[in-house]
Structures are given as structure tokens and as C-alpha cells.
Amino acid sequence: MYDVEKVRANFPILERRVGDKKLVYLDNAATSQKPRQVLDALSEHYTEHNANIHRGAHRLAEEATAAYEGAREKVACFLNAADARGLIFTRGTTESINLVAHAWGRKNLREGDEVVLTEAEHHSNLVPWQLAARDTGARLTFVPIRRDGTLDMEEAERLIGPKTRLVAGIHASNVLATINPVERLAELAHEAGALMLVDGAQSAPHLPVNVEELGCDFFACSGHKMLGPTGVGVLWGRPQILEEMDPFLGGGEMIREVHLDHSTWNVLPYKFEAGTMNIAQAVGLGAAVDYLSELGMENVRKHELRLGEYAYRRLSEIEGITIYGPKEGRTGLVSFALPDVHPHDISQLLDEEGIAIRSGHHCTQPLMRRLGTVATARASFYLYNTEAEVDRLVDALVRAREFFGAFA
């Protein structure tokens, strides 16, 4: 039995007030809150074990290295990656995708090659490919979104072909709440002799992820959206593909041998971890995946599914509301618009009631254009949110509407 109150007790920030109102934090797609266990891991690292990793022959360096490498094992296990050598720590999803766009894209893309994306990409899985395409002469094509917010897979089958070198797409949408059939996209990519990159920023925190079953070649996610600290994320890649790639950043640790005129590269994963990494943050991410694994991602998913469905139903009751994305198969977030209150004004009025949501383009400007809008309001839920909080959201929205309506 999933005990949400017991979960909430682990998150000190949920006790705070905004003005005289108890905080209702519904901006989890932007970043999640952190449980005591993660805060303690960070604090313990700095008070007990802080040292630079890998090359120190002293106790602290050994402890810090063990904790950092332990975190790598934990995250690899969390994503069901068979080989932790393919698990590279980065600054976050954005850096993970940029790593692939540079180290794989610049080396392998040629004029006339195609990279297939979707229309619903976060800018982090669009702009790096625009830059790579500009440098290599490759072309970007886009799998369209159907009216209900799901991917047009028939069009995907048509677009993915002999010119395709890479298919890269979001696993779950940060706006539409859709969960894309990335397994099928991976099959199509492989049939065409292309690789598959999955942007898991909005899936890894919320769904059980198994990179082997997804069949992808790269999987990227961010620690801070899954209870971990900011400053650390992950790129998982198939080791044989990573081996053949050029390095991304040059510097300390990523080398084997350095001469004045040339260098050779370290083994995986260190070849892609130049300079001093965010060590404490990686350790914190290890504690975060421990926390998630203990709860069980199946249970987290069930809780969010129930909550998301409840939110969808309650929000649907508001007259005139537009809810974006499909009716079913959603993650736990809801993007919406009210006919007479701009999303910016909605979030301002909700803030007054202690409710944190996000409004704007959510770093998906092309998707906003596709939806015929410039901004939406978005309430995104996580493992500590409750139905009572959904009720507070709905009540506050009704009041916001009345407030604006009074000026009509």
C-alpha cells in the first residue's frame, strides 16, 4: 500500500508556507523537491568524505570515489542498463544530448543524412540537432503530432528510411503528458540502420525505465527532476557505440596518455567525464534512485496515474477549460488554458494561494505553435502530491476565474 503521507514526511520543504498558505508544489516537471535522504547524502558527503575522485591515494579520495562509482552502479541498475560503463554522468539531459550531438553527430552525420525528431521536442532535443545539422549538412525531419496529442506513427514509418541516421525523441511530453511508443521508434530506426536516442527527462522520474527493453541506443535524463540535486544528469549509451565516438569535452580524467601534440582517451565511461565532476550531486542522485527504488517505480507510476486521472477529471469540470494532450495513457501532468485568464495571470493568482504551477511555452515553442497558442498553464504532479492538493488547485482556478470575471 502506497502511503503518500509517509512519503510526504520525507520532504521537509512540503512543510513550508507561502505567505500564510501551505505550499502546494505542482511544478515537478520543472524540478522535483528533494527528500531528507538526498539532503542527508549531500551533507554526509561534504562533512565526511569530500575529496576529488579517482587519482587520490588517500582515505577520503577512496571513499569519495567509491561513493561516486557506487552512484553510477545504482543509476545503471535503476535504468536496467546491463553495463555501467555506458552510464556517463553529465550536467543534465541538455548536456547529455549535446554530448551525443557533438561526439556522435559531428563525426557521423553527412550532407543529405536525416535526423528524425518529433514536433513535441523540448528545445533541449531540438537545438543541439539544429546546430549539428548546420555543421554537417544533415537535415532534420519531424514526426507530427496528431490532434489528440499522440505521435503520428504512420508518418513516422514514412519518415524513417534509408537516409535516417538517428531518431531522437521524448519518451514523455512535458506539455502533452503523452508517453511515446519509443520502443517502436527504436525498431523503425534499427530497421533503417539508424540509432535511437530517447530523451527521458520526463519519463525516468515517473515510469519504470528499462533501456534494454526500450531498445534505444542512448537514453538521457536529469537528476533534479527525479529527487536528486541540480547539476547532475545521465547519458546512458551502448558501450560499443560510445567506444567509437570521439570525446566531447577534453581535459583531465578523460585521457589515457597526453603528449604535447596528441593524446589518447581513457576507457568508458571516463572518456566522457572530463574535469572534476559534480561528485556530491552524483552521490545525491544515487540516494535519490535508492529512494525511488525502495518505493518501487511501479508504485510511483500507479500513484501518479491515479492522481493524474483525478486531476484531469476535476479540471475538466471547469467550464470552458482546454486540456492539452490525449485523454488516456498520460503521465501525471496536466497542461491547460482558461478562455479568459492568461496562463501568466493564472500562475500569479495561484501563487497568492501558495500553489506553484508553471506557465509559458515550457521550452517547446514549435509545439506551442502547433497547438495554436503561445503559452499554457501546467500543473505537474509527483509521488508526494495528493488529491486534496488537486482540489486546492481546482478551487483556486475557479476563484481566479471569478476574480478576472468580476472586471468583465
Partner 1 sequence: MMRELYTQIIMDHYRRPRNRGEIEGSDIEEHLLNPLCGDEISVYAVFDGDRVSDVKFTGRGCSISQASASMMTERLMGKSRGEAEAEVESFKAMMVGEKEFPETDDLAALKGVVQYPSRIKCATLSWTAFQNGL
Nearest distance from residue 37's CB to partner 1, in Å? 32
The verdict on 352 binding partner 1 (CB under 8 A) reads yes
For 93-146, give the DSSP string: HHHHHHHHIIIIIHHH--TT-EEEEETT--GGGTHHHHHHHHHH--EEEEEPBP
Nearer to partner 1, 103 or 368 (CB): 368
Residue 109, Ramachandran bin (φ over 0: left; ψ between -120 and 50: alpha; else beta): beta
Nearest distance from residue 63's CB to partner 1, in Å? 42
Q: Which H, E and C letters describe 250-281, residue by residue? A: CCCCCEEEECCCCEEECCCCHHHCCCCCCHHH
Nearest distance from residue 225's CB to partner 1, in Å? 20
C-alpha cell at position 223: 537528476
- For the chain, how big is the Rg over CA atoms in Å? 22
Nearer to partner 1, 22 or 342 (CB): 342
Nearest distance from residue 129's CB to partner 1, in Å? 20
The verdict on 2 binding partner 1 (CB under 8 A) reads no
Nearest distance from residue 253's CB to partner 1, in Å? 36
> Can you tell me the distance from the alpha carbon of 175 to that of 333, in angstroms, rounded to the nearest whole number?
8
Q: Which of 139, 306, 342, 370 binds partner 1 (CB under 8 A)?
A: 342
Q: Which of 83, 155, 183, 345 binds partner 1 (CB under 8 A)?
A: 345
Nearer to partner 1, 316 or 365 (CB): 365
The verdict on 1 binding partner 1 (CB under 8 A) reads no
Tell me which residues are annotated as active site. 363
Q: Which of 348, 387, 388, 395 binds partner 1 (CB under 8 A)?
A: 348
Number of residues located near partner 1, criterion CB under 8 A: 18
Nearer to partner 1, 144 or 366 (CB): 366
In sequence order, the 6+-apart residues with CB closer than 8 A to the CB of 181 are 151, 153
Nearer to partner 1, 24 or 192 (CB): 24
Residues facing 258 on adjacent strands:
263
> Can you tell me the distance from the alpha carbon of 352 to that of 350, in angstroms, rounded to the nearest whole number?
5
Site map 358..387 versus partner 1, x via CB under 8 A: -xxx---x--x-----xx------------
The verdict on 157 binding partner 1 (CB under 8 A) reads no
Nearest distance from residue 119's CB to partner 1, in Å? 16
Segment interacting with partner 1 (CB under 8 A) among 114-122, 231-239, 259-267, 347-355: 347-355
Segment interacting with partner 1 (CB under 8 A) among 91-99, 104-112, 220-228, 400-408: 400-408
Q: What are the start-end ranges of the H helices in 171-278? A: 182-191, 211-214, 239-244
The verdict on 397 binding partner 1 (CB under 8 A) reads no
The answer to whether 199 and 125 have CB atoms below 8 angstroms apart is: yes
The answer to whether 323 and 329 have CB atoms below 8 angstroms apart is: no
Segment interacting with partner 1 (CB under 8 A) among 103-111, 308-316, 325-333, 356-364: 356-364
Sign of CA dihedral 336, 341, 347, 352: negative
Q: Which of 282, 349, 371, 383 binds partner 1 (CB under 8 A)?
A: 349
The verdict on 343 binding partner 1 (CB under 8 A) reads yes
The verdict on 344 binding partner 1 (CB under 8 A) reads yes
Nearest distance from residue 125's CB to partner 1, in Å? 18
The answer to whether 27 and 334 have CB atoms below 8 angstroms apart is: no
Helix H or strand E segment including 286: helix 279-295
The answer to whether 195 and 218 have CB atoms below 8 angstroms apart is: yes
> Can you tell me the distance from the alpha carbon of 127 to that of 133, in angstroms, rounded to the nearest whole number?
10
> Can you tell me the distance from the alpha carbon of 166 to that of 108, in angstroms, rounded to the nearest whole number?
10
The contact set with partner 1 (CB under 8 A) reads: 342-345, 348-349, 352, 359-361, 365, 368, 374-375, 403-404, 407-408
